[in-house]
């Protein structure tokens, strides 16, 4: 899938000590292919790749300590922008009920989403009213009534012998009379867009003057969903899109293209058939989901603002040349501590959480303090040449640090282990990432 392919591109980038313009071009070629394969609109892909390339090819990025990381970060930010940047909120009427009209093709998920949205609003202490305005699909009214019953939200219906325009009109009056603050109108769909459907929707629109016209599209249909959105938007002026079936095996194309092609923000995402499987759409979260990196991104940001680049570079050199000493170890611990509680950092690094469990390595901050005390009790020589610390010296260090000899033994034994751990950490942050690992 898209996530796997992008991760491949990035692990290649991270594996490079220096990133050249050719590397960026090669990476962007692969990003381009990955996006096209994920059914993202080709124009969108073209513009996206051009933007990322422009920001990535530059002295600032390429000369940095973590060029691969910065490029991943650029891709993440641009993906977020592509999907609208920040979360698009639902409109609220100044006066009277906020009217939300749900439109879309048959089977997209309008009826289900109407009920889900009602549930979401109800949780925020609103009093929504659902309106059953699909008189064509057999049992569509019943479907909405059953869902309404399930979530204890009233459903307004007049059967299937009254016109949808009339149902919507009376539904709005009912909401006003009963103090409902949201009116959600579930409309009919067709298998394809046709003039008859559009005309009816326009009439309902004129009648109830909605604050929101939400187009419900099936994310599984990829670019078709985007074309449908574009088409509806020219005929009806949408205020937002709801992407459904994101729980399925979607290729991501719809999520990535809708905003760029139609100018309409995605306001909600549906991730399942269950009634509470609807959430406000967060471009940022979707981007990290597509990149498959979750908290890794926040760790990258933290590292970029907190790690002393010069020191880290020097440390890396030392580790590679096996010159790493207890002094460096202390300094490295300082750097790592700047990122936050150690436990959390470890959990943010893919693979580290598992390693922590498997090796039963204690990495809480209290433990760090004891380790520091032991190292502080070593002489300058001992810190530089750990191999010279014999039994007698260990006893002295234990006494001096207020620990015991077993702990000193363990630390020295674990020094190698820790060094490897720090090395792995430094690999994560630095340019010489292990090929194909972690991310």
Report the distance separating Cα 117 and Cα 68, nearest Å: 40
Closer residue to ligand GDP, CB minimum distance, 15 or 272: 272
Q: Is 247 in the site for ligand GDP (CB under 6 A)?
A: yes
Q: Is 117 in the site for ligand GDP (CB under 6 A)?
A: no
- Residue 292: phi and psi, rounded to 5, are 65, 35
Q: How far is CA 88 from CA 94, 110, 112, 239, 289, in A?
A: 18, 19, 21, 10, 18
Q: Is 252 in the site for ligand GDP (CB under 6 A)?
A: no
Q: Is 187 in the site for Mg ion (CB under 5 A)?
A: no
Q: Is 110 in the site for ligand GDP (CB under 6 A)?
A: yes
Helix, strand, or coil (residue 204): helix
Name the strand (E) or helix (H) holding 194. Answer: none
Helix, strand, or coil (residue 340): coil
Total count of residues recorded for the chain: 439
Q: Is 66 in the site for Mg ion (CB under 5 A)?
A: no
Q: Is 262 in the site for Mg ion (CB under 5 A)?
A: no
Out of 53, 169, 245, 423, the residue judged to bind ligand GDP by CB under 6 A: 245
Apex 99 CA angle, 96 and 101, nearest 5? 170
Helix, strand, or coil (residue 135): coil
108 annotated as belonging to a binding site for a ligand? yes
CB of 110 to Mg ion, least distance (A): 5
Q: Is 280 in the site for ligand GDP (CB under 6 A)?
A: no
Concatenated DSSP letters of 268-313:
EEE-SSSTT-EEE--HHHHHHHHHT-TTHHHHHHHHHHHS-HHHHH
Q: Is 273 in the site for ligand GDP (CB under 6 A)?
A: yes
Q: Is 157 in the site for ligand GDP (CB under 6 A)?
A: no
Concatenated DSSP letters of 38-52:
TT--HHHHHHHHHHH
CB of 255 to ligand GDP, least distance (A): 13
- Count of C-beta atoms within a 10 Å radius of residue 369: 9
Q: Do the Cβ atoms of 349 and 296 come closer than 8 Å?
A: yes
Report the distance separating Cα 155 and Cα 181, nearest Å: 14
CB of 146 to Mg ion, least distance (A): 12
Window of 55-63, 85-93, 159-167, 264-272 that interacts with ligand GDP by CB under 6 A: 264-272
Out of 80, 111, 221, 401, the residue judged to bind Mg ion by CB under 5 A: 111
The entry of Mg ion, ligand GDP, none that residue 312 binds, CB within 5 to 8 Å by partner kind: none
109 annotated as belonging to a binding site for a ligand? yes
Name the binding residues for GTP. Answer: 104-111, 186-190, 244-247
Q: Which residues of this protein are in contact with ligand GDP, per CB under 6 A? A: 104, 106-112, 189, 216, 244-245, 247-248, 270-273, 277
Q: Which residues of this protein are in contact with Mg ion, per CB under 5 A? A: 110-111, 140
Name the binding residues. Answer: 104-111, 186-190, 244-247
């Amino acid at each position: 899938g898209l996530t796997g392919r992008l991760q491949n591109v990035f692990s290649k980038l991270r594996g490079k000590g220096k990133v050249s313009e050719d590397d960026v071009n090669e990476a962007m070629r692969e990003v381009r292919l990955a996006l096209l394969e994920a059914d993202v609109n080709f124009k969108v892909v073209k513009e996206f790749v051009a933007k990322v390339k422009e920001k990535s090819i530059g002295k600032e990025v390429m000369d940095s300590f973590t060029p691969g990381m910065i490029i991943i970060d650029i891709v993440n930010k641009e993906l977020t922008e592509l999907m609208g940047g920040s979360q698009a909120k639902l409109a609220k009427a100044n006066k009277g009920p906020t009217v939300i009209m749900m439109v879309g093709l048959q089977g997209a998920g309008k009826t289900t989403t109407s009920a889900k949205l009602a549930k979401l609003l109800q949780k925020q202490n609103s009093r929504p009213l659902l309106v059953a305005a699909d008189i064509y699909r057999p049992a569509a009214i019943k479907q909405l009534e059953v869902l309404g019953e399930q979530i204890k939200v009233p459903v307004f219906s007049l059967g299937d012998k009254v016109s949808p325009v009339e149902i919507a009109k009376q539904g709005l009056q009912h909401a006003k009379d009963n103090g409902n603050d949201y009116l959600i109108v579930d409309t009919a769909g067709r298998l394809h867009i046709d003039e008859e459907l559009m005309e009816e929707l326009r009439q309902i629109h004129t009648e109830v003057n909605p604050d929101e016209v939400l187009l419900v599209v099936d994310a599984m249909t990829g670019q078709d969903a985007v074309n449908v959105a574009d088409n509806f938007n020219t005929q009806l002026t949408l205020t937002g899109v709801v992407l459904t079936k994101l729980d399925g095996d979607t290729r991501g194309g719809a999520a990535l293209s809708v905003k760029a092609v139609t100018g309409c923000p995605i306001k909600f995402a549906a991730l399942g058939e269950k009634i509470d499987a609807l959430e406000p759409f967060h471009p940022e979260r979707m981007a990290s989901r597509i990149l498959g990196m979750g908290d890794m991104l926040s760790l990258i940001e933290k590292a970029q603002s907190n790690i002393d680049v010069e020191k880290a570079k020097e440390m890396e050199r030392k580790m590679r040349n096996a010159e790493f000493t207890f002094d460096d170890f202390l300094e490295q611990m300082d750097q790592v501590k700047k990122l936050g509680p150690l436990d959390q950092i470890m959990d943010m690094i893919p693979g580290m959480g598992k390693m922590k469990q498997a090796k039963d390595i204690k990495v809480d901050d209290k433990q760090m303090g004891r380790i520091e005390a032991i190292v502080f009790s070593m002489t300058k020589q001992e810190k530089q040449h750990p191999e010279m610390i014999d039994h007698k010296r260990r006893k002295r260090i234990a006494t001096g640090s207020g620990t015991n000899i077993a702990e000193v033994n363990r630390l020295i034994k674990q020094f190698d282990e820790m060094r490897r751990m720090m090395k792995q950490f430094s690999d994560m942050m630095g340019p010489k990432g292990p090929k194909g690992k972690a991310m």
